[in-house]
Homo-oligomer: A and B are copies of this chain.
Amino acid sequence: MNLPSPYLLFLGDTADASDAKTAFGLRDWAPERVVAEWRAPGGKVTLGLPALSPAEARAKGARALVIGVAPVGGAIAPAWIPCLLEALEAGLDLVSGMHTPLADAPGLAAAAERLGRRLIDVRRPPATSPVATGLRRRGMRLLTVGADCALGKKYTALALARAFKARGVDADFRATGQTGIMIAGGGVPIDAVVADFVAGAAEQLSPDAEHDHWDVIEGQGSLFHPAYAGVSLGLLHGSQPDVVVVCHEAGRMRMSGYPAFRTPTAEEVAELTLRLARRTNPAVRCGGLSLNTSKLSEPEARELLAERSAQTGLPCADPIRGGPEFERLVDACLDR
């Protein structure tokens, strides 16, 4: 999946910045793909970017409007439809990560057809994926793995890919979820792939490469998740990582949405991940821990990172905070 860019980021009519995580993620991690922001009437959220209409954005080179908000329910709001039609009329394709396909929203399919524009649903997987071969590919691969969903696997992969590049390492971020795909401009929504082909889709996502090239692959779910562990295992086997980085969140005691399930420790995640990963790459190792400390103060966070590093004997960093801990994690991943 390759997306047309740069983007005009659409913020809908929401007043709640937490609905606009996708737009903030694109602003922070793919600034080179973003031209401007745009709100529907009544919208209150801003990314601090120039606000341009679709026609103005098109004149500045934008090729697609990206829906950068995801209200509860994941549906396209009726109030957005005139905006989306205006974008199509202005010559922009539409890119959406919503559950509802764009073509199901009234009028969009007909307008896109008439204007020769594309409606791109990034949740929709490639029409066909191969069965995994299990064959080794050249090049280096890092996969972020997690104790649970939604605790920093995507941000950790983005931060590591950026740090690798900053050190002159040839690296690509490989996206497996909708926001990541918009940031990368391509990828595979791995949890939407038919089960038999998950490992094969993961193999395709990080193809044969130069021996010193790194693919930094966005993990999904958790091997300990009662609903999604199978997705995580297929992605792990197909990715054949040389290095895994274990992601956790300080204070996450229970699996999100599954209060009957204890969250595993980072040590448990590392041990099970390495054991299962060896099936397709016997040389896999753990580069370190990525700890989401967003609920802690700065001194608390630094103290916890030092404590967990001492306990595990591994670098332990919060990529969002950066600092020397993160540099040590990058060193360990690159084995320098």
Residues of A within 8 A of B (CB): 131-135, 190-196, 198-200, 223-224, 226-235, 237, 258, 260-261, 276, 279-280
* Residues of chain B within 8 A of A230, CB atoms compared: 195, 198-199, 230-235, 237
Contacts of A237 in B (CB 8 A): 226-227, 229-230
List 17 A-B pairs, Cβ < 8 Å.
Answer: A133-B227, A134-B227, A134-B258, A191-B194, A193-B194, A193-B195, A194-B195, A195-B198, A199-B226, A199-B229, A224-B279, A229-B233, A229-B276, A229-B279, A230-B235, A230-B237, A233-B233
* A135 CA / B258 CA spacing, docked (Å): 9
**17 additional contacts (CB under 8 A) given A196-B227, A229-B234:** A132-B226, A134-B227, A134-B261, A191-B195, A191-B196, A193-B194, A193-B195, A195-B195, A195-B234, A199-B227, A199-B228, A199-B230, A200-B227, A226-B279, A229-B279, A230-B231, A230-B237
Q: How far is the CB of A201 from chain B (nearest CB, A)?
A: 9
Q: Across the interface, which residues of B come within 8 angstroms of A258, CB to CB?
A: 134
Report B-chain residues with C-beta under 8 Å of the C-beta of A223: 233
With both beta carbons as reference points, the residue of chain B lying nearest to A201 in the complex is identified as B195
What separation, in Å, do the CA atoms of A238 and B323 have in the docked complex?
42
Q: Closest CB of chain B to A181's CB: distance in Å?
A: 16
- Give the nearest-CB partner of A232 in chain B: B230
Distance (Å) between the CB of A270 and the closest chain B CB? 15
- Chain B residues near A133: list those with CB within 8 A: 226-227
3 nearest A-B pairs in the assembled complex, by CB-CB distance: A230-B234, A134-B226, A132-B227
